[in-house]
């Protein structure tokens, strides 16, 4: 019996065809190999097996067709089989011509593969480029590629202040009691150690880690950190372990810059930190700090930014800025001060990231969130940050 979708016509002897065959006026079976186009087989007296791509012609014997076959010009006798029915005339209607020609096991049959292909079709160098080139407006995960053609997946914020923001990193404190221990990737995972002035060196190298979906549950850094040429940054402070779909509602603070300050610092933080290394003993507090850039709030304001840090800390910073590479009293650097511009030198209480050596009370100030818990974990007293700030990851975007 013919298989569903076959359209045997005027056959006299069965022949098995594979997808794509176009048997025509054959007289005897022949073994064909892929790509063959027998055209003068009328005189053959031996059976033929057909394989994909063959186009046997002028067959006189019955043929079993499979999806995609287009038997033509078989015997001269009028067909007793109506198109779309089996040889008996009672079979199921044939599928449409379009369906018949769909390659078996093709990607069109696989929704997941099709979704993947659709995503890769919109690959770009940044979320900003995705927005401008393809008019993409939905927040979510997209594929980006680097100057060297490395493909990676990144979260795009297509909503904030016109969109086009690429998430390139998150700083997450997995254990404030662990002082430069496992998980302190943005400072040192190798203990407080004067012999490691840069700690793990994450701010100035091309090591990548984590994943966008886990950006609130672990540290994250993608190739965009060093590959994308950007002008501004956006920062979201999002509660630990928030699901990506809830990042906006689970954020305690969101803001961005609009001054294009990165343009004068190499186009991204990888380049900026070459100018301002996150390394012990490269300068003096306040004298040698990096840029302090005013921010525009997307959620929150300067007053509640200040209140996320301890009362002592509030006496030595101005909220409403993001500041890069500051240096404390003991010459220990921090990579960035989220939401504030320091005027004092106890930056370890309100700035994040760093090198591998924090001398004051060593090792108590060493870690991704440095000394956020100096006056008790999450107490928001003395020098301690609030519990909200202590237990939120810092997500940083480029545009």
Q: From 87-95, 145-153, 233-241, 360-368, give the range in contact with Ca ion by CB under 5 A.
A: 360-368
Q: Which stretch binds Ca ion (CB under 5 A): 7-15, 194-202, 288-296, 368-376?
A: 368-376
Specify whether the CB–CB gap between 347 and 290 falls below 8 A.
no
* Contact pattern from residue 255 through residue 294 relative to Ca ion, giving x for each residue in contact according to CB under 5 A and a dash for the rest: ----------------------------------------
Q: Which residue is nearest to Ca ion (CB)?
A: 367
Instruction: Indicate the residue among 9 and 193 with the shorter CB distance to Ca ion.
Output: 193
Look at residues 270, 220, 213 and name the one whose alpha carbon lies nearest to residue 242: 213
| Closer CB to Ca ion, 368 or 391, in the complex | 368
Q: How far is the CB of 208 from Ca ion (least distance, A)?
A: 14
DSSP assigned state of 364: T
Nearest distance in Å: CB 250, Ca ion: 18
Burial 10-30 (b: 16+ CB within 10 A, else e): bbeeebbbbbbbbbbbbbbbb
- Distances from the Cα of 288 to the Cαs of 115, 332, 337, in angstroms? 50, 12, 15
Q: Using DSSP, state whether 147 is helix, strand or coil.
A: coil
Does the footprint of Ca ion cover residue 344 (CB under 5 A)? Answer: no
**Within 155-184, which residues bind Ca ion (CB under 5 A)?**
172, 175, 178, 183-184
- DSSP secondary structure of 199-260: TT-GGGS---BS-GGGTTTS-EE-THHHH---S-EEEEEEETT--GGGTTTTEEEEEE--S-
Our CB check for Ca ion shows the closer of 178 and 294 to be: 178
Q: From the CB of 123, what's the least distance to Ca ion, in Å?
A: 29
* Structural contact between residues 320 and 339, judged by C-beta atoms closer than 8 angstroms: yes
Segment contacting Ca ion by CB under 5 A, of 62-70, 238-246, 339-347, 388-396: 339-347
Using CB under 5 A, which of 268, 346, 380, 384 touches Ca ion?
346
Q: Which of positions 210-229 make contact with Ca ion (CB under 5 A)?
A: 219
Answer for the pair 208, 222: CB distance below 8 angstroms, yes or no.
yes
Q: Which of 26, 368, 370, 385 binds Ca ion (CB under 5 A)?
A: 368
Residue 92 or 382 having the CB closest to Ca ion: 382
Nearest distance, CB of residue 360 and Ca ion, angstroms: 5
Determine the Cα angle at 254 with ends 250 and 256, to 5°.
155
Q: In what order do the strands lie in the sheet with 292-294?
A: 292-294, 321-327, 333-337
- Among 367, 384, 389, 392, which residue sits at the site for Ca ion (rule: CB under 5 A)? 367
Q: Based on CB atoms, which residue is closest to Ca ion, 172 or 254? A: 172
Residues at the contact surface with Ca ion, assessed by CB under 5 A? 172, 175, 178, 183-184, 219, 346, 367-368
């Amino acid at each position: 019996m013919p298989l569903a979708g076959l359209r045997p016509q005027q056959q006299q002897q069965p022949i098995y065809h594979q997808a794509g065959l176009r048997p025509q006026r054959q007289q005897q079976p022949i073994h064909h190999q892929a790509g063959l186009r027998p055209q003068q087989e009328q005189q053959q007296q031996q059976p033929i097996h057909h394989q994909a791509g063959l186009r046997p012609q002028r067959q006189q014997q019955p043929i079993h067709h499979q999806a995609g076959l287009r038997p033509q010009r078989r015997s001269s006798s009028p067909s007793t089989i109506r198109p779309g029915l089996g040889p008996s005339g009672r079979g199921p209607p044939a599928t449409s011509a379009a369906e018949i020609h769909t390659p078996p096991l093709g990607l069109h049959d696989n929704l997941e593969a099709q979704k993947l292909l659709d995503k890769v079709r919109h690959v770009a160098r940044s979320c900003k480029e995705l927005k401008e080139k393809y008019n993409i407006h939905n927040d979510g995960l997209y594929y980006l590629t680097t100057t060297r053609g490395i493909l990676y997946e990144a979260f795009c914020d297509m909503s904030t202040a016109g969109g086009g923001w690429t998430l390139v990193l998150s700083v997450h404190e997995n254990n404030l009691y662990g002082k430069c221990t496992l998980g302190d990737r943005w400072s040192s995972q190798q203990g407080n150690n004067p012999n490691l002035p840069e700690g793990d060196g994450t701010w100035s190298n091309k090591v990548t880690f984590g994943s966008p979906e886990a950006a609130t549950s672990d540290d994250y850094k993608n190739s965009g950190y060093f590959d994308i040429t950007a002008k501004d940054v956006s920062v979201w402070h999002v509660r630990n372990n928030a699901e990506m779909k809830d990042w906006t509602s689970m954020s305690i603070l969101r803001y961005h810059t609009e001054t294009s300050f990165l343009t004068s610092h190499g186009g991204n933080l990888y380049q900026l930190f070459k100018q301002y290394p996150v390394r012990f003993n490269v300068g003096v507090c306040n004298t040698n700090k990096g840029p302090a850039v005013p921010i525009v709030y997307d959620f929150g304001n300067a007053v509640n930014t200040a209140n996320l840090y301890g009362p002592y800390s509030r006496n030595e910073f101005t909220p409403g800025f993001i500041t890069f590479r500051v240096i404390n009293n003991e010459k220990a650097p921090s990579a960035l001060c989220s939401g504030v511009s320091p005027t004092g030198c106890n930056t370890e209480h309100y700035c994040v990231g760093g090198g591998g050596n924090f001398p004051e009370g060593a090792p108590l100030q060493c870690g991704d969130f440095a000394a956020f818990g100096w006056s008790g974990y999450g107490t928001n007293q003395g020098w301690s940050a609030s519990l909200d700030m202590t237990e939120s990851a810092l997500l940083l975007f480029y545009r």
